[in-house]
Amino acid sequence: MRHLLNPLDLTVEETYDLIKVAEDIRENPDKYCEVAKRKILATCFYEPSTRTRLSFESAMIRLGGQVLGFSEATSSSASKGESVSDTVSVVGCYSDIIAMRHPKEGAALVASMKSAVPIINAGDGGHQHPTQTLTDLLTIHTYKKKLDNLTIGVCGDLKFGRTVHSLITALVRYPGVKFILVSPEELRIPESIREDVLQKNNIPFEEVETLEDVMPKMDILYMTRVQRERFFNEEDYIRLKDRYILDMDKMKYASDDMIVMHPLPRVNEISVEVDSDPRAVYFKQAQNGVYIRMALIMMLLGLKA
Amino acid sequence: MINISGLKDGYVIDHIKAGRCMDIYRALDLDKCTGEVAIIKNAKSGKQGKKDIIKIEGLLDINLDLLGFIDDNITVNVIKDEKIIEKKPLTLPTRISNVAKCKNPRCITCVEQELEQIFFLADIEKKVYRCLYCEEALEKGQ
């Protein structure tokens, strides 16, 4: 039995296979609409996350399966002091696979140690969110037809942005990848990613503070939100939150085939006027999240179309 | 110079960084040892300037993984009939349990305290250990 706790739990080949299945699901949804018939997905969400939970539920329903679960800790036995291990041991009796989100880092690993059914980490605090990374890889593959030899710009909060760290860690496995890291000094990429991931793998990267200058070089621009909850000081948040706002003026610097991605939700780091630009793919990215989760559920349950 | 008698059978844990002998005493549960235990602090050392030494009477089980985790520069000499018969090599263990606590307040071990505290060797050159659950680096002396 396999779990998915970290994007690197999947080899490059397995990731590619998942992407191919997800792309086939997108093209031929009817072929997959009963693949998970009589299977049950439990969504154990100890903290609210509308979009990830709904994306998992949509994925299971589109596979013909059914869904049960809870969407916040107060509506589960956790509020009575039950451990994660005990909860998954019980929920595993009611379901065939569990998608779990928990505010504490490592909670999904703890769940996987006791669970009788596959565990999918749907986010464990600021640690890992592998299905977001898979969603990002599918989106890149959809628009670029490859995952290698790309220049990826990431912009915004690179210090606390979990999705950025996971994406970089996953992409360094592909040859010819380069990064342009755009952030204010205070929100630069952590040393652990710079040294242990980028430098260790001899990945070319540059760190800059101005977006416009480097946009022409990018194949992909991955925007992130500056998250209020990461700051202890409201003044710092206010000072930094609007540092990068992508609007149509800035989009003029981008090549015609650059794509703009964002894990969503956005606040105001991408102006609404950009939404209608064909290079803005962030809503398609959210749609891809359903397809890749469908492919993942199939893989972990050993289901075939 | 203080004279401490030689050992017939036992261990000499040598080249302990000066000031850390009590950490090792506690880590190895030597307070429960019924034989003689000598703790020598600030002994002169050619290499280190000063070092600590622990001499233990009796051939009890020594947790070498734990010693390697604390400091892999330590040497462990096995004494039999007053002679060194073996020098136990210390290496950094790839995984170690319940000898340190993760300090990351966002780690699951902070709320579920019955969980085993497990750390794995993430970088052998930099001697970095990380929490198995949250991957936070363990700080020295933690």
Q: Judge whether A73 is closer than 8 Å to chain B, CB to CB.
A: no
Residue A2 included in any domain: no
The residue of chain B with its CA nearest to that of A128 is B134
Q: What pLDDT sits at residue A263?
A: 94
> How many domains in chain B?
2
Q: What pLDDT sits at residue A126?
A: 84
Hey, what are A160's tokens?
């606390």
Listed as ranges, residues in chain B with pLDDT below 50 are none
| Region of residue B73 (phi > 0: left; psi between -120 and 50: alpha; otherwise: beta) | alpha
Q: Please list the rounded mean pLDDT of every run of 10 residues in chain A (305 residues).
A: 96 98 98 98 93 97 97 75 93 98 95 97 92 98 98 94 91 98 92 90 97 96 85 78 92 97 93 98 98 98 96
Residue A252 included in any domain: yes
The whole-angstrom separation of Cα A182 and Cα A189 is 9
CATH of the domain at B36: 3.30.70.140
Name chain A contacts of B110, Cβ cutoff 8 Å. Answer: 104
Residue B64 included in any domain: yes
| Region of residue A205 (phi > 0: left; psi between -120 and 50: alpha; otherwise: beta) | beta
The answer to whether residues B77 and B102 belong to one domain is no
The answer to whether residues B71 and B14 belong to one domain is yes
> How many domains in chain A?
2
The answer to whether residues A243 and A187 belong to one domain is yes
Q: Judge whether B106 is closer than 8 Å to chain A, CB to CB.
A: yes
Output the CA–CA distances (angstroms, integers) from residue A31 to A63, A208, A303, B3, in the order listed: 9, 46, 13, 84
Q: What pLDDT sits at residue A228?
A: 73
Residue B49 included in any domain: yes
Report DSSP letters for B40-79, one per residue. EEEEEETTTEEEEEEEEES-----HHHHHHH-TT-EEEEE
Q: Which domain holds residue B28?
A: 10-88
Output the CA–CA distances (angstroms, integers) from residue B118 to A7, A33, B49, B138, in the order listed: 21, 42, 34, 11
β-sheet bridge partners, residue A182: A155, A208
- To the nearest whole angstrom, how far is the Cα of B94 from the nearest Cα of chain A? 18
- To the nearest whole angstrom, how far is the Cα of A128 from the nearest Cα of chain B? 9
The answer to whether residues B59 and B124 belong to one domain is no
Q: What pLDDT sits at residue A237?
A: 79
Q: What pLDDT sits at residue B59?
A: 77
Name chain A contacts of B115, Cβ cutoff 8 Å. Answer: 110
Q: What pLDDT sits at residue B103?
A: 93
The answer to whether residues B29 and B84 belong to one domain is yes
The answer to whether residues A107 and A137 belong to one domain is no
The answer to whether residues B51 and B99 belong to one domain is no
Q: What pLDDT sits at residue A289?
A: 98
CATH of the domain at A138: 3.40.50.1370
Which are the catalytic amino acids of A?
Answer: 51-52, 80, 101, 129
Name chain B contacts of A83, Cβ cutoff 8 Å. Answer: 112, 114
Cross-chain residue pair A192–B137, CB shorter than 8 Å: yes
The whole-angstrom separation of Cα A95 and Cα A69 is 10
Confirm if A88 and A111 have CB atoms less than 8 A apart: yes
Pairing of strands A119-124, A205-208: unpaired
Cross-chain residue pair B136–A192, CB shorter than 8 Å: no
Q: What pLDDT sits at residue A243?
A: 86
Q: How many residues does chain B have?
A: 142
Q: What pLDDT sits at residue A134?
A: 98
ipTM of this predicted complex? 0.87
Q: Judge whether A124 is closer than 8 Å to chain B, CB to CB.
A: yes
β-sheet bridge partners, residue A124: A102
- Containing A136, the helix (H) or strand (E) segment is helix A130-144
Q: What pLDDT sits at residue A215?
A: 97
- Cα of A93 vs its chain's centroid, Å: 28
Residue A226 included in any domain: yes
Q: What pLDDT sits at residue B48?
A: 77
